[in-house]
Structure 1
Amino acid sequence: MAFEEYLEDPVIQKYLHELVGPKGMPVAAAPPEGEVTDEELAEELGLELNDVRRALFILYENDLASYRRLRDEDSGWLTYLWTFEYDNIPEQLEGEMYELYEGLTDRREYELDHQFYLCEACGIRFEFEEAMDFDFECPDCGSQLESMENTALVDAMDDRIDALVDELNIDVNA
């Protein structure tokens, strides 16, 4: 996929937005080719320098940007030249999908292995042992705790897990 195509892909746009947030999105969504300083980016995009630096650092932490330092021989000041590296975004997204799969399968097991009680007035959910410790009364409002059915939640997890298994070609029989 060409560099420009990455930036047009809505999944990649959402991924970048989740990483850098709305203030950093102009930095992530329109990276120049080659090296650029944070000051040049801030001026070009009309953004606060701190917002640009924050976005660059987040991109750096996620292996989507790199920098090299140059020291001005006269002043001793350091200049950081940034380069954007979006070629590994598909692999990072795939890695996050595997993490989501593992998290959902763990949470599904937790939901199946526990019995829950709900305070309908407060919307607080308790495991059986917690509910028993509170004599099946909400510690916040004193309402009676009701047994909670979580089948719909488990079914939704199953649907998402099945979709991830298909998309990632996971062999669940292995």
Structure 2
Amino acid sequence: MHGPLSAAWLLVALCAATGAYCLLRMRSTVEEQRRTAGGEALMGFGMALMAVPAAVLTPPTWAWLLYAAVFGTAALRALWAARRGAHHLHHLVGTFAMAYMAVEMAARPAAHAHPGGAGTPALTGALLAYFGGYVLWSGARLVPAAATTGAAPALTGWGDRPELARACRLSMGIGTLAMLLTM
């Protein structure tokens, strides 16, 4: 992606840290949590790779097509899983957005180094609106229930804490929003 180097490296670090935490969440005793964490780890590490500044590494076209294939496959898997719950719809939108950005970068490799052009395509605008709303919504959900009700939180393993999972989803939403803004 293009943009300021320091912001790009911060995005790489944020996405890689999120992916690493999601790998740790895969050790959960809850099967659905493990499955969800695996998809989120893929997203975190994939976003970290895609966010490496173009001044440091400009991937060849085949690499962008590989990203598109991986995220397209993940989108199909999320589409299949969406029949079980609404959260999988967010995974579907997220993986689709990553596949879309990879296809765009493969189609316009010169745009990777030189932003700008004829304006924002409608699909990019729709994804920006979705992820902007998602970031605001998920950020508001980080307020712990114990802070609003006065109840003490139940102690669980740090890999099974729902607020940490929400924080990871929030950081990936922020990362996707930042990457879409550079398109």
Which structure has the larger Rg? 1
Structure possessing the higher relative contact order (Cα contacts under 8 Å, 6 or more residues apart): 2
Structure with the bigger percentage of strand:
1
Common topology (TM > 0.5):
no
TM-score, structure 2 length as denominator?
0.29
TM-score, structure 1 length as denominator?
0.30
